[in-house]
Amino acid sequence: MQLSTWQSLALAAASLVGTSSVQAAQWEHDAALLYYGESDERVQAGSIKYQGKRGADEDDKFTVTAGVDALTGASPLGVAPSYNAQTMTSPSGKTIQIPAGQLPLDDSFKDVRVSGALQWDKGINEQWRHNSGVTFSKEYDYLHTGVNSTLSRNVNNKNTTLSAGVALGYDQVQAIEGKPVPLTLAGSARAGDGTKKNAEVMLGVTQVLSKRAIAQLNYSYSQASGYLNDPYKYISITTPAGVVNENRYEARPDTRKGHTVYAALKYKANDKTTLTSSVRLQQNDWGTDSFTAEQAVRFDLGNERSIEPSVRFYHQKAADFYKPQLLTTEALPHYASADYRLAEFNAYTVGATYRWKGSKNKEWRITGEYYKQKPKAVALTAGQAGLNANPGFEAVMVSLGVKF
Amino acid sequence: MLIRIGLPVLLVCSLTACANPAVKPWERGVLAEPAMTFGHDALKDSIADHVYFSKEATSGGRSIAGGGCGCN
């Protein structure tokens, strides 16, 4: 039998982990392309993802996931805007000219990320299952390795599934020219790699509520320690008159602990309408507490086609150490970051997924989404009136997927 | 601390208390549909989670072991 490229890939992956006796016909494939583009010539990204799964839901399952992401565009440096033109050197050694009155961006931002994961899901007996896996990703300046394991048990006539899982990660921050010393002046000596350890424990329950409703509830505790800075982000030290006096590398704490509660509900309202709702609450010791709510409604259009509009709302508080800039009149704090992702903001996503059945039983989908990040306004000095250190941004995401 | 630990436990207990054990295996036709299955669109979910992880300070919740990234 002539194998397709996908089947060959899946079989090769299976062979690597000693499951070469699998039959090609048992594999299910899921592939996707993604385009992500931000406004104002900021980040543009393209991704290709693949997931191959062997085994039906009740059988032992083996899943292989692989992906390549390519990114380019401009990313905010963390430097404060000023009515004076600024010149600085990017971490890669490029001179950046920042025109007066503009948000300082590093347009030399580009990266390629290759990622992969292997998961084994095995039934132990009628009630118990266990799922274990490894994750890996490599970028030019970052390496991630991780392991995870989850044990689950069906109770209550399989109307309830209880699960407990743990994931451990070890990452290396291989910053260009080495990692900077936090809060040293931009251009100061950089050296060596940073390491980051992540641990997460999750307890979950999935509960059948009725013939037409099922719910999921997860609680997780996560902890990260090590080098948690972004080695390419700065924070400005500005005079009260609004002149950027100097830029320093950001400084974040070297530990982070968080608690997350996630709840989701699927409800078949009628023969043609399925609702999916979810909420997520997170509290963590950096102060970036957040709330997320998502709602999707899937309408069956007949002839194996469906349309699924969706909305998402996200709100986070600012990190305790977030400031758009520091002032020359203030003592240097222990921790400080002007990274826009640590600011207080709301984010909104609206989109839709259209699904249809193609030839040879292929299940196609196309998803289009619009994302807007709207930060809470934070005043700068009087000398920077009218300037915004974090104006927010808009993005468009389009992904095309196929299952076969 | 009591709230952090107690709230999830209370929610789990509340949820399981809503259980309807009367739903038999042969009555699960609707629940077996892809649209009614958590994680059926794993690749689509992982793409969304990765985008949000790179732009926001929160990640996870939906599942464990989302993988790592230098993007945040």
Residue pLDDT, tens place only, A347-391: 999 999 999 999 988 999 999 999 999 999 999 999 999 999 999
Nearest to A148 among B28, B64, B70 (CB): B64
Contact A167, A150 (CB under 8 A): no
A214: closest CA among A160, A262, A279, A165?
A: A160
Nearest to B55 among A210, A268, A341 (CB): A341
Is 50 exceeded by the pLDDT of residue A31? Answer: yes
Is 50 exceeded by the pLDDT of residue A2? Answer: no
- Whether residues A160 and B16 touch (CB distance < 8 A) is answered with yes
Residue B67: which pLDDT band, with cuts at 50, 70 and 90? confident
Contact A196, A163 (CB under 8 A): no
Distance CA B68, CA A82 (A): 35
- Whether residues B24 and A157 touch (CB distance < 8 A) is answered with yes
The mean pLDDT value for A220-242 works out to: 96
Contact A404, A362 (CB under 8 A): yes
A228: closest CA among A249, A251, A212, A261?
A: A251
The encoded tokens of residue A206 equal 């999935």
Distance CA A338, CA A329 (A): 18
**Range scoring the smallest mean pLDDT among A174-178, A268-272, A298-302:** A174-178
Instruction: Specify the residue for token string 């002539």.
Output: A2
Residue of B nearest to A296 (CA): B35
Q: What DSSP element (H or E) covers B17?
A: helix B2-17
Q: Are strands A255-270 and A244-249 parallel, antiparallel or unpaired?
A: unpaired
At A57 the pLDDT is 59
Top mean pLDDT of A56-60, A87-91, A310-314 is at: A310-314
Residues of A in contact with B24 (CB under 8 A): 157
Is 50 exceeded by the pLDDT of residue A23? Answer: no
Q: What does the mean pLDDT of chain A come to?
A: 92
The encoded tokens of residue A383 equal 């000398």
Q: What DSSP element (H or E) covers A6?
A: helix A5-16
Q: Are strands A326-327 and A234-238 parallel, antiparallel or unpaired?
A: parallel
Residue of A nearest to B60 (CA): A260
A391: closest CA among A39, A98, A37, A100?
A: A39
Nearest to A167 among B11, B51, B64 (CB): B64
Residue of B nearest to A29 (CA): B43
The encoded tokens of residue A79 equal 């430097």
Contact A297, A273 (CB under 8 A): yes
Residue of B nearest to A278 (CA): B62
Nearest to A341 among B4, B24, B57 (CB): B57
Residue A58: which pLDDT band, with cuts at 50, 70 and 90? low
Which residue type sits at B30? V
A240: closest CA among A330, A322, A332, A327?
A: A327
Compute the nearest-CA separation of B3 from chain A (Å). Answer: 11
Half-sphere CA count of A81, side-chain side, radius 13 A: 19
Instruction: Specify the residue for token string 């009136």.
Output: A385
**Range scoring the smallest mean pLDDT among A23-37, A199-213, B29-43:** A23-37
A307 touches chain B (CB under 8 A): no
At B69 the pLDDT is 85
Please name the residues between 91 and 130 in chain A that touch chain B, using a CB distance below 8 Å.
111, 113, 115, 117
At B72 the pLDDT is 76
Contact A37, A395 (CB under 8 A): yes
Distance CA A13, CA A10 (A): 5
CA distances from A128 to A109, A152, A162, A208 (A): 47, 6, 10, 17
Residue of A nearest to B72 (CA): A230
**Range scoring the smallest mean pLDDT among A7-11, A291-295, A312-316, B44-48:** A7-11
- Whether residues B61 and A30 touch (CB distance < 8 A) is answered with no
At A1 the pLDDT is 40
Task: Give phi and psi for A188, each to the nearest 5.
Answer: -65, 165
Distance CA B54, CA A223 (A): 18
A392: closest CA among B55, B31, B69, B14?
A: B55
Residue A88: which pLDDT band, with cuts at 50, 70 and 90? confident
At B2 the pLDDT is 44
Percentage of chain A with pLDDT > 90?
83
The encoded tokens of residue A60 equal 């032992």
Contact A82, A100 (CB under 8 A): yes
| pTM, to two decimals | 0.90
3-state helix vs strand vs coil in chain B, percent to 5: 50, 0, 50
CA distances from A21 to A13, A52, A258, A325 (A): 12, 16, 43, 60
Residues of A in contact with B55 (CB under 8 A): 341, 347, 371, 373, 395
- Whether residues A306 and B35 touch (CB distance < 8 A) is answered with yes
At A22 the pLDDT is 44
Per-residue model confidence as pLDDT tens digits over A107-149: 877 899 999 999 999 999 989 999 999 999 999 999 999 999 9
Bridge partners of A274, per DSSP, are: A268, A298
CA distances from B2 to A278, A285, B5, B64 (A): 24, 16, 5, 24
Nearest to B20 among A167, A210, A218 (CB): A210
Test the A interface: residue of B3, B18, B62, B72 with most A CBs within 10 Å: B62
DSSP A101-161: TS--EEEEEEEEEEEEEEEEEEE-SSSEEEEEEEEEEEETTEEEEEEEEEEEEEETTTTEE
Test the B interface: residue of A138, A152, A260 with most B CBs within 10 Å: A260
Residues of A in contact with B63 (CB under 8 A): 202, 218
DSSP-derived 3-state class of residue A60: coil
The encoded tokens of residue A1 equal 């039998």
Residue A59: which pLDDT band, with cuts at 50, 70 and 90? confident
DSSP-derived 3-state class of residue B21: coil
